[in-house]
C-alpha cells in the first residue's frame, strides 16, 4: 500500500487537555478549540476524545464546523462560533444549537431578530484589530446585549506566545475595563494565555494548538506521527543527479529510497534538499526536490531496507518542520493532506 499513514494519538490529545486544564485553578473551565477540522486531525474524532477527557465546551471558527462537532459530542455541550452570526447562518445555528460570538452591532441585531432567545456570546476587540467589537461600539450596545443574557464574553490575545510582550498586560487591562462587573463568564486565554498564568484565565480558557502538541505548549505530548511508505530503493553512483531540475548531485555512491507523499499532501516544496526523515532512530536527509506525490531520501546509513520513513514522529514534531518552512506548527497541522490514511489510536 502506497498510502501514507497519519497516526493520531487520542490518548496524547487527552493528556494534553488534562495538562492544560491543570495549569488553571479548579474554578476555571478549560474548553477546547477544534476549528479547521480539529487543526487538521479530524474534528469528530478529536472533539469526541476531548469530551471524554472532560472538555465541556467547544469553539469553532464558522457555523458549518459546529455541525460536525455537534454530531460528535451529542446534544448537550455548548459550541461557540468565533466568526459570530453571519447572514444565512440562522438555520445552522438553530439546528446545531450553536452559540455565535457576536462581533459587531450588526451581528447583534441580526441574531436578536433571527433567533430571539437563542444562546449567544460577545467577542470584544482589545487591540488585535481582527474580530470583535471595539470599545466604543461595545459601550453603545452593552446594555442591550447584556439584557439578553450572553453566555460568554471573550477577547483574544495577539502576542500570548511571547510571555514578556507588553501587548499582553495592555490587552488584559482593556479587557478588565470593558468587562469588570458585568456578571457574565469571561474568556481571554488560548494556549498562550493559559501559560501566562492565572491573571489571564478568568472563568474559561479555550486552548487549541497545545492540545495537538504544538508550541507554545512545549510540554505537550506529540499527537501525530506521519509515516511515508517506501515504494522503491535504488543505488546511485557518485555524480548522478536526483529529481526534478537536477538540484541534487550524489557526492558519493549512495542508496536512495523513494517514498510516497509530496507537496499535494502538504509537504511543502521549500523542504526540497532541507528536511530529514527518520528510519527509527536514524536520520535520513531528503535529497532533491519535493514532487507532487514523491520524495527521494538518502538511506545510505540505514541497516536493511526500511518499509516506511517518518516525517513526523518522536524525533521531529510539527514545530521542527515549521522551523524549516518558516512557519508555525499550526500551519503544518492544518496542511496535513486529505490523502493520508488517518489512523486513530484510541484514548480513554
Binding-site residue total for ligand PLP (CB under 6 A)? Answer: 12
For ligand PLP, the binding residues in 137-176 under the rule CB under 6 A are 156
Active-site residue identified among 35, 212, 263, 340: 35
| Min CB(114)–ligand PLP separation in Å | 23
Stretch that binds ligand PLP, among 73-81, 204-212, 222-230, 336-344 (CB under 6 A): 204-212
Q: What is the dihedral of CA 62, 64, 66, 69, to 10 degrees?
A: -130
Q: Does 30 bind ligand PLP (CB under 6 A)?
A: no
Q: Which of 17, 82, 200, 202 binds ligand PLP (CB under 6 A)?
A: 82
Task: Strands of 210-270 (E only): list them.
Answer: 224-236, 241-242, 248-249, 254-260
Q: Does 126 bind ligand PLP (CB under 6 A)?
A: no
| Min CB(200)–ligand PLP separation in Å | 12
**Distance between alpha carbon 118 and the CA centroid of its chain, in Å?**
28
| Min CB(16)–ligand PLP separation in Å | 11
Q: Return the DSSP state at 273.
A: T
| Min CB(191)–ligand PLP separation in Å | 3
Q: What is the dihedral of CA 262, 311, 53, 185, to 10 degrees?
A: -70
Q: Name the residue nearer to ligand PLP (CB basis): 16 or 276.
A: 16
178-208: string of b/e by CB count within 10 Å (b at 16+)? bbeeeebbbbbbbbbbbbbeeebbbebbbbb
For ligand PLP, the binding residues in 264-293 under the rule CB under 6 A are none
Active site residue 35: yes
d(CA 293, CA 106): 46
Phi-psi region for residue 307, left (φ > 0), alpha (ψ -120 to 50) or beta? alpha
Question: Cα–Cα distances in Å, from 148 out to 86, 98, 108, 119, 195?
Answer: 19, 16, 10, 9, 33
Q: Does 33 bind ligand PLP (CB under 6 A)?
A: yes
| Min CB(221)–ligand PLP separation in Å | 16
On the question of a cis peptide bond just before residue 253, with omega within 30 degrees of 0, the verdict is no
Q: Return the DSSP state at 199.
A: G
Q: Does 69 bind ligand PLP (CB under 6 A)?
A: no
- The 3-state DSSP class for residue 212 equals helix
HSE at residue 124, side-chain half, CA atoms within 13 A, is 27
Nearest to 2 by CA among 260, 343, 226, 309: 260
Q: Does 191 bind ligand PLP (CB under 6 A)?
A: yes
Q: Name the residue nearer to ligand PLP (CB basis): 121 or 208.
A: 208
Q: Does 206 bind ligand PLP (CB under 6 A)?
A: yes
Q: Name the residue nearer to ligand PLP (CB basis): 104 or 260.
A: 104
Active-site residue identified among 39, 200, 212, 244: 244
Query: What are φ and ψ of residue 116, in 5° steps?
Result: -60, 135
Stretch that binds ligand PLP, among 178-186, 201-209, 252-260, 294-302 (CB under 6 A): 201-209
Nearest to 234 by CA among 284, 314, 296: 296
Give the length of the chain.
348
Residues sharing a CB contact under 8 Å with residue 332, sequence separation 6 or more, in sequence order: 266, 318, 319, 321, 322, 325
Active site residue 244: yes
Q: Name the residue nearer to ligand PLP (CB basis): 51 or 209.
A: 209
For ligand PLP, the binding residues in 207-236 under the rule CB under 6 A are 207-210
Q: Name the residue nearer to ligand PLP (CB basis): 191 or 316.
A: 191
Q: Does 62 bind ligand PLP (CB under 6 A)?
A: no
Stretch that binds ligand PLP, among 5-13, 71-79, 200-208, 251-259 (CB under 6 A): 200-208
The catalytic residues are 35, 244
Contact positions vs ligand PLP (CB under 6 A): 33, 35, 82, 156, 190-192, 206-210
Amino acid at each position: 500500500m502506497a498510502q501514507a499513514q497519519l497516526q493520531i494519538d487520542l490518548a496524547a490529545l487527552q493528556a494534553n487537555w488534562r495538562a492544560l486544564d491543570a495549569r488553571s485553578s479548579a474554578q476555571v473551565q478549560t474548553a477546547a478549540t477544534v476549528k479547521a477540522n480539529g487543526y487538521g486531525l479530524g474534528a469528530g474524532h478529536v472533539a469526541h476524545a476531548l469530551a471524554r477527557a472532560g472538555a465541556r465546551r467547544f469553539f469553532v471558527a464558522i457555523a458549518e464546523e459546529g455541525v460536525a462537532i455537534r454530531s460528535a459530542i451529542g446534544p448537550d455541550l455548548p459550541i461557540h462560533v468565533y466568526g459570530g452570526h453571519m447572514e444565512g447562518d440562522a438555520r445552522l445555528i438553530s439546528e446545531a444549537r450553536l452559540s455565535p460570538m457576536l462581533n459587531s452591532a450588526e451581528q447583534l441585531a441580526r441574531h436578536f431578530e433571527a433567533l430571539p432567545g437563542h444562546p449567544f456570546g460577545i467577542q470584544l476587540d482589545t487591540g488585535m484589530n481582527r474580530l470583535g467589537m471595539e470599545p466604543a461600539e461595545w459601550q453603545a450596545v452593552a446594555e442591550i446585549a447584556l439584557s439578553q443574557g450572553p453566555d460568554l464574553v471573550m477577547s483574544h490575545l495577539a502576542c500570548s506566545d511571547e510571555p514578556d510582550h507588553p501587548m499582553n498586560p495592555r490587552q488584559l487591562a482593556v479587557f478588565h475595563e470593558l468587562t469588570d462587573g458585568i456578571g457574565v463568564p469571561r474568556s481571554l486565554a488560548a494556549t498562550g494565555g493559559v501559560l501566562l498564568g492565572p491573571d489571564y484565565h478568568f472563568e474559561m480558557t479555550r486552548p487549541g494548538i497545545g492540545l495537538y502538541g504544538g508550541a507554545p505548549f512545549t510540554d505537550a505530548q506529540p499527537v501525530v506521527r506521519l509515516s511515508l511508505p517506501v515504494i522503491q530503493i535504488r543505488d546511485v553512483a557518485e555524480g548522478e543527479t536526483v529529481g526534478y531540475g537536477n538540484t541534487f548531485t550524489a557526492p558519493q555512491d549512495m542508496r536512495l529510497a523513494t517514498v510516497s507523499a509530496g507537496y499535494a499532501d502538504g509537504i511543502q516544496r521549500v523542504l526540497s534538499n532541507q528536511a530529514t526523515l527518520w528510519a527509527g532512530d536514524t536520520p535520513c536527509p531528503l535529497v532533491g526536490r519535493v514532487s507532487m506525490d514523491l520524495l527521494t531520501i538518502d538511506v545510505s546509513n540505514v541497516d536493511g531496507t526500511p518499509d516506511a520513513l517518518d516525517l513526523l514522529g518522536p524525533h521531529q514534531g510539527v514545530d521542527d518542520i515549521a522551523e524549516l518552512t518558516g512557519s508555525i506548527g499550526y500551519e503544518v497541522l492544518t496542511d496535513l493532506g486529505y490523502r493520508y490514511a488517518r489512523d486513530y489510536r484510541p484514548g480513554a
